[in-house]
Amino acid sequence: MKILVPVKQIASLDDQFEMRDDGRDVDDDYFEKDLNEFDHFSVEQALLIKEAAGDGVEVVVAIVGDDDADDALRTVLAKGADRGIRVWDDALAGADGIVVAKILAKLVEREKPDMVFTGAQSTDFGSAATGMALAGILGWPHAAVVSHLDYTPGAPSATLRRELEGGLEEVMSIRCPAVLSIQLGINQPRYASLRGIKQAKQKQVDELSPDDLGLGEDDLRPASNVRRMYVPERGKAELITGTAAEQAARLAEIIKEIRGM
Amino acid sequence: MSGTIVIAMQRNGELLTSSFEAITAARGVKEAGDTLAVVIVAADPQSLAGPLSVGGVDEVIAVRASDDFQPDLIEAVLDDLIGQRKPALILVPHGVDAWSFAPATAARNGLGFSTDVLALRREGGDLVATRAGYAEKVLMDIDFPGKETVLLTLRTNVFEPAAGQAQATVTELAAPSADIATKHEGWKPPADAGGIDIPGAEFILSIGRGVADEANVEQFLELADKMGATLGCSRPIADNGWLPKARQVGQSGRLAANCRLYVAMGVSGSVQHQWGMKHVENIVAVNTDPEASIFSIARYGIVGDMFEIAAELENHF
């Protein structure tokens, strides 16, 4: 029994940043990299299933990214995932969710997991695409934005809740194996223990290229092309300056004025 | 390749407003002589065809199935339409349902694809879409070279919902035989609000991640009470169980429908949070990060510590 959990290393921007010379992305000197917030929850869900089953469940984490992405992989290995796979080649620099899904589909063929959990979206681009694109390529049952899951390893179906707009949830049963995208709040993700961090260094991480997986240049073409990236004209708030006491006094005035007090 | 297809979405047989927003977006990039068709999958699609005949819709394609959301079925309908009609553009509201089926359809059919698109235009014949990146700090203009069909999901509450009666032809389409792997088992409505009324509140004081610890929450409940505000929060606060879900403002929480004054403290202003409050006329943001996206929709901004401001504010009420 195996659960595959693809994770992502996201990039957030420093307060000050500059565009790359070609104007199509931010200069990567200004990136701070971190594990995608949603992935803490998808990994936790897999670990909870593994622990409830007692034995015989392997949690494999996969990432598409360069050397830097090892940090994200070690973070989730330290939490208790058993093994990692990292796929990279410089040709993947412009990869989007569809390309990543093609790579993950090859990993699914290779690993033959019983379930795949992804984050519902990434916090940098928020495309909400990769997991369900993977399901589309595999032809597997799928559900997005899963906020609750009842699943026993090896069971032919699972019951889940999808979180909809306005706090409404739909209860749904789904045939397994399936690809599920996991929503924030489905569980309380654990922190890695010191022992876990130490152990993570010893865990196996396979490094593969798209070529190793039988993917060619055509497969790595993204589904869209960035013409330019830019900082938008933003609405400008009227800034209230001064000491905290002065700022609060002005805020109180504004509140009273609007409230007609 | 020509023509646009909009996928209208319904829940329990009721059309979602975002369906009409997608029609507006489609109309805005429609080329002369192109047709605009709207697809609706429902138990009684004929009854929804009339309401969908708005804003330049030429045809409503009515697919009789269940009202339950079944991604496999919508994908099968789309696979057929892509094969038979070869549309140039397919538009879907970026609601939770679209998250399930749109990427699957795009990947399987090798379509041009992007999600959460917030603007759409033609530039020298090319379709150019705009979406945000790096947690909304930048925008990107994107195109789809060499793609004969492009599928886009559209951010909701951006395009004006289409109005104005059109004379659409209604085509009934048999539901394709699809292997349906999911089954609707029921609904779980939001937990009882316990008297907390975010949609009805005129004045909301809202706290976010900046509150940092559960022990810090109480003072803001007291401050809200003292000021006559309803205390709201962003998602992480409710996910942590520090405040009930009924206080969560945003896409998966509540819409601050009647709010006239929204004071956001320690809230960064994610898209999902903005969904619930960006329409509010008077937004005040208090945040230590001057780059927080909440400042781009706020009328007044205080770059400062929410605890200091809150402590001082208390003296005025």
Q: Tens digit of pLDDT for each residue in B202-224?
A: 999 999 999 999 999 999 999 99
Q: Measure the CA–CA gap between A254 and A238, rounded to whole angstroms.
A: 12
Instruction: Pick A124's closest partner by Cβ from B133, B145, B299.
Output: B133
Please count the other Cβ atoms lying within 10 Å of the Cβ belonging to residue A237.
Answer: 20
Residue B286, H or E segment: strand B282-287
pLDDT tens for each residue of A59-78: 999 999 999 999 999 999 99
Instruction: Pick A247's closest partner by Cβ from B69, B239, B304.
Output: B304
Instruction: Pick A145's closest partner by Cβ from B96, B140, B239.
Output: B96
For residue B181, what pLDDT is reported? Answer: 98
Q: Give A95's contacts in chain B (Cβ within 8 Å).
A: none
Question: Regarding the domain delimited by B198-315, which CATH topology (the fold level of the hierarchy) does it fall under?
Answer: Rossmann fold (3.40.50)
Interchain proximity B96–A164, CB inside 8 Å: yes
Contact B193/A at CB under 8 A: no
pLDDT tens for each residue of B84-116: 999 999 999 999 999 999 999 999 999 999 999
Minimal CA separation from A203 to chain B, in Å: 31
Instruction: Pick B301's closest partner by Cβ from A11, A98, A237.
Output: A237
The identity of residue B247, as a single letter, is R
Find, in chain A, the residue whose alpha carbon is nearest to that of B153: A127
**How many residues belong to chain A?**
261
Residue ranges of domains in chain B: 3-173, 198-315
B273 three-state secondary structure: helix
Instruction: List phi, psi (to 5°) of A258.
Output: -70, -35
Cis peptide before A177 (omega within 30 of 0): yes
pLDDT tens for each residue of A25-49: 999 999 999 999 999 999 999 999 9
pLDDT tens for each residue of B237-281: 999 999 999 999 998 889 898 999 999 999 999 988 998 999 999
Contact B215/A at CB under 8 A: no
Q: Measure the CA–CA gap between A40 and A46, rounded to whole angstroms.
A: 10
A234 pLDDT higher than 80: no
Q: Give A166's contacts in chain B (Cβ within 8 Å).
A: 190, 252-255
Find, in chain B, the residue whose alpha carbon is nearest to that of A28: B134
pLDDT tens for each residue of A80-96: 999 999 999 999 999 99
Contact B208/A at CB under 8 A: no
**Choice among A135-139, A187-191, A239-243, B268-272 with the minimum mean pLDDT:** B268-272
Q: What is the mean pLDDT of residues B136-145?
A: 94
Interchain proximity A254–B300, CB inside 8 Å: yes
The residue among A128, A134, A125, A13 whose CA lies nearest residue A62 is A134
8 A C-beta contact, residue B162 and residue B52 = no
Q: What is the mean pLDDT of residues B218-240?
A: 96
The residue among B27, B21, B22, B23 whose CA lies nearest residue B121 is B27
B272 annotated ligand binder: yes
Interchain proximity B263–A251, CB inside 8 Å: yes
For residue B192, what pLDDT is reported? Answer: 80
Contacting residues for B50 by C-beta, under 8 A, at least 6 apart: none
Q: Measure the CA–CA gap between A176 and B42, rounded to whole angstroms.
A: 26
ipTM value, please give it.
0.94
Minimal CA separation from A248 to chain B, in Å: 5
Contact A104/B at CB under 8 A: no
Domain at B3-173: CATH code: 3.40.50.620
pLDDT tens for each residue of A133-167: 999 999 999 999 999 999 999 999 999 999 998 88
Instruction: Pick B139's closest partner by Cβ from A143, A184, A232.
Output: A232
Question: Regarding the domain delimited by A2-220, which CATH topology (the fold level of the hierarchy) does it fall under?
Answer: Rossmann fold (3.40.50)
**Choice among A13-17, A169-173, A250-254 with the minimum mean pLDDT:** A13-17
Confidence band (pLDDT; 50, 70, 90) for B1? low
C-alpha torsion sign, points A178, A182, A188, A191: positive
Encode chain A in three state secondary structure: CEEEEEECEEEEECCCCCECCCCCCECHHHEEEEECHHHHHHHHHHHHHHHHHCCCCEEEEEEECCHHHHHHHHHHHHHCCCEEEEECCHHHCCCCHHHHHHHHHHHHHHHCCCEEEEECCCCCCCCCCHHHHHHHHHCCCEEEEEEEEECCCCCCEEEEEEECHHHCEEEEEEECCCEEEECCCCCCCCCCCHHHHHHHCCCCEEEECCCCCCCCHHHHCCCCEEEEEECCCCCCCEECCCCHHHHHHHHHHHHHHHHCC
Q: Give B274's contacts in chain A (Cβ within 8 Å).
A: none
B117 annotated ligand binder: no
pLDDT tens for each residue of B169-185: 999 999 999 999 999 99
